[in-house]
Amino acid sequence: MRHSILTVSLTTALAIWCTGCPSESTHTPGTPATPPATPTAALKAIDPATAGGIKGRVEWSDPGVPNRAPVNMGADAKCSAMHATPVLDETVIVNDNGTLRNVYVWVKTGLESFKVASGTGTVTIDQQGCAYHPHVLALQMGQTLQVKNSDAVLHNIHSLAELCAAFNFSQSKQGDIKDVTENLTDAEFFKVKCDVHPWMGAWIGVSPHPYFAVTGEDGAFQLVGLPPGRFTVEARHEELGSKTAEVTVPEKGTAETSFSFSESDG
């Protein structure tokens, strides 16, 4: 009896003594413990009062101009019948002023510490005359890619994206429209093609911010509303590859830069 009382007393004393002791960790051996969260630095807003920009041209450095071969649409009589004159290949187009068309230009680095609103609105790629229009387009993450079929023939659009989620769907009727909204979530420049008509191809640039452009008939580009600072600007062409330039944007000013491609690139 005295032994039982002594055991109870010792048990009670140990319980009182351990009150407030740290509890035993439930961490499983061999599994890294979760580190404390590190506060994320607040992103800075871009001040329109001090913003500047970048402008320039994408030039063709070779003395000769590549021949644009006619596209062979003979595999589909309906496609061939849509054109009174041959459709020329759009892979490399040198403008009359010695510049290069269809080059995607964007700010690759330098905006990581700035807050940028998500893109809004719709950008359209049209399947017309058994070709994609435009041949190169760009949009910001958050924008909707609208895919339209203006032809009375079956098309499909098959993306070859590696970072963005790929998409592949057909449009059998003239006037069909389908929106792509959830796939374009990574910065990438990728090809889309038509599996029905193998000559059909286009390129899409996806940017996390609105500072991008695609060169047209004058080969020029302009990126406006950038904060003062140093940026890496990239020019990407579907066949000739990519080139970068380091550009410093002055406060309330415009920096100039240019890119040059030739047949030996890519």
- Each residue of 41-85: pLDDT tens digit? 699 999 999 999 999 999 999 999 999 999 999 999 999 999 999
What is the model's pLDDT at position 228?
Answer: 98
What is the model's pLDDT at position 182?
Answer: 87
What is the model's pLDDT at position 31?
Answer: 40
Which range is least confidently modeled, 23-37, 38-52, 105-119?
23-37
Provide the percentage of residues in the chain whose pLDDT is more than 90.
82
What size, in residues, is the chain? 266
pLDDT tens per residue, range 195-246: 999 999 999 999 999 999 999 999 999 999 999 999 999 999 999 999 999 9
**Could you identify the residue written with the tokens 């496609």?**
79
159-170 as b/e, with b when 16 or more CB fall inside 10 Å?
bebeebeebeee
What is the model's pLDDT at position 38?
Answer: 44
CATH 2.60.40.420 intervals, the chain = 117-208
- Span 18-37, average pLDDT: 42
CA–CA distance, 242 with 247 (Å, rounded to integer): 16
Q: In what order do the strands lie in the sheet with 177-180?
A: 132-133, 122-127, 144-149, 177-180
**Could you identify the residue written with the tokens 């404390």?**
36
pLDDT band at 40 (very low <50, low <70, confident <90, very high): low
Q: What CATH class has 117-208?
A: mainly beta
242's tokens: 């990519």
CATH 2.60.40.1120 intervals, the chain = 43-74+97-109+219-266
132-150 as b/e, with b when 16 or more CB fall inside 10 Å?
bebbbbbbbbbbbbbbbbe
Q: What CATH class has 43-74+97-109+219-266?
A: mainly beta
Instruction: Tell me the average pLDDT of the chain.
Output: 89
CA–CA distance, 263 with 239 (Å, rounded to integer): 9
**Could you identify the residue written with the tokens 């459709």?**
87
